């Protein structure tokens, strides 16, 4: 499993992590992924999967990076503190490795939210702070209100068919040492199905599957990691096999022209 730096920190994270939105696989797929090095697990208070993540990581706590999120409706100062406490409890840990704001919400002034997050880092309840679904402008504002720590990641929609972040957000994150955590990297499973001509051709050329090619295309971008969700051990193992090799420049060019 290839590793990448988390933001501007010295922490290394796997380029393939494990998503858990609408996850129903129980502990085994997550544990299989962790054993293969996919040791970053993404969850959220809004997913109702923090408890199963907590159970899955029990034998591996020190090896796993837990990324969870505070919901956009809980961004008032005291709500952030309460949400974090509830997440710690459900996950069964003393500290959340990466705590992310799930969605920006203009109802709550961002300085209030960031002040609460700073308190959580100061208290040792959270190691690193990230955001999700933030634009460049929103990232700048959030960082401005959070002067003592870096915002290390932005979790956003990114896959071969959804590439709007390439215009502004992806270059901004690269220039500012922010990890892009690509969600829905398989386009909710649609990129795994045989039938797309170029994807199938490159899968045949590389001896990989369509899912592995689609994920590898994402992680070929320097500061991008992916968090596919899979309910079975077999699909999780397959997704982990998207790391440890690289598409050729010609294959990348073909994919980018086709999609």
Ligand X SMILES: NC(=O)c1ccc[n+]([C@@H]2O[C@H](COP(=O)([O-])OP(=O)(O)OC[C@H]3O[C@@H](n4cnc5c(N)ncnc54)[C@H](OP(=O)(O)O)[C@@H]3O)[C@@H](O)[C@H]2O)c1
Residue nearest to ligand X (CB): 19
133 binds ligand X (CB under 6 A): yes
Integer Cα distance of 73 and 177 in angstroms: 28
- Shortest separation between residue 66's beta carbon and ligand X, angstroms: 12
Integer Cα distance of 130 and 153 in angstroms: 5
Integer Cα distance of 233 and 30 in angstroms: 8
Given strand 179-183, what is the order of strands in its sheet? Answer: 18-19, 40-42, 65-70, 96-101, 126-132, 151-157, 179-183, 224-226
Residue whose entry in the numeric block shows the structure tokens 């956003």? 156
Taking CB under 6 A as the criterion, the residue among 235, 240, 247, 251 binding ligand X is 235
Going by their DSSP bridges, the two strands 18-19 and 12-14 should be labelled as unpaired
Interface with ligand X: number of residues (CB under 6 A) = 26
152: its two tokens: 């290390």
155 binds ligand X (CB under 6 A): yes
251 binds ligand X (CB under 6 A): no
Whether residue 29 contacts residue 233, with contact meaning beta carbons closer than 8 Å, is answered with yes
Span of 74-82, 90-98, 230-238, 248-256 interacting with ligand X by CB under 6 A? 230-238
Residues in 15-34 that interact with ligand X by CB under 6 A: 19-21
Taking CB under 6 A as the criterion, the residue among 186, 213, 219, 225 binding ligand X is 186
Going by their DSSP bridges, the two strands 96-101 and 65-70 should be labelled as parallel
| From 23, 47, 108, 149, the catalytic residue | 47
- Binding map of ligand X across residues 85-114, x = CB under 6 A, - = no contact: -----------------x------------
Residue 47 a catalytic site member: yes
Catalytic residues: 47
Residues that bind ligand X in the complex, under the rule CB under 6 A: 19-21, 42, 102, 132-133, 155, 183-189, 192, 211, 227-232, 235, 238-239
């Amino acid at each position: 499993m290839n590793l990448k730096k988390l933001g501007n920190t010295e922490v290394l994270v796997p380029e393939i992590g494990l998503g858990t939105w609408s996850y129903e696989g129980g502990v085994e797929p997550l544990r299989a992924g962790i054993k293969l090095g996919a040791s970053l697990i993404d969850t959220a208070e809004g997913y109702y999967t923090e408890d199963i993540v907590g159970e899955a990581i029990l034998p591996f706590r020190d090896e796993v990076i837990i990324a969870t999120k505070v919901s956009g409706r809980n961004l008032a100062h005291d709500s952030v503190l309460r949400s974090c406490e509830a997440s710690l409890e459900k996950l069964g840990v003393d500290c959340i490795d990466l705590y992310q704001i799930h969605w920006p919400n203009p109802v709550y002034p961002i300085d209030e939210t960031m002040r609460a997050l700073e308190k959580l880092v100061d208290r040792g309840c959270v190691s690193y702070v990230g955001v999700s679904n933030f634009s460049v402008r929103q990232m700048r504002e959030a960082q401005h209100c959070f002067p003592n720590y870096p915002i290390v990641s932005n979790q956003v929609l990114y896959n071969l068919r959804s590439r709007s972040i390439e215009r502004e957000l992806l270059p901004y994150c690269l220039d500012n040492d922010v990890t892009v955590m690509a969600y829905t990297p398989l386009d909710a499973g649609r990129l795994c199905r045989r039938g797309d001509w170029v994807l199938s051709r490159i899968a045949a050329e590389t001896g990989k599957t369509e899912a592995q090619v689609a994920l590898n295309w994402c992680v070929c971008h320097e500061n991008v990691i992916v968090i596919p969700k899979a309910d079975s051990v077999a699909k999780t193992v397959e997704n982990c096999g998207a790391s440890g090799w690289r598409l050729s420049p010609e294959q990348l060019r073909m994919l980018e022209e086709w999609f």
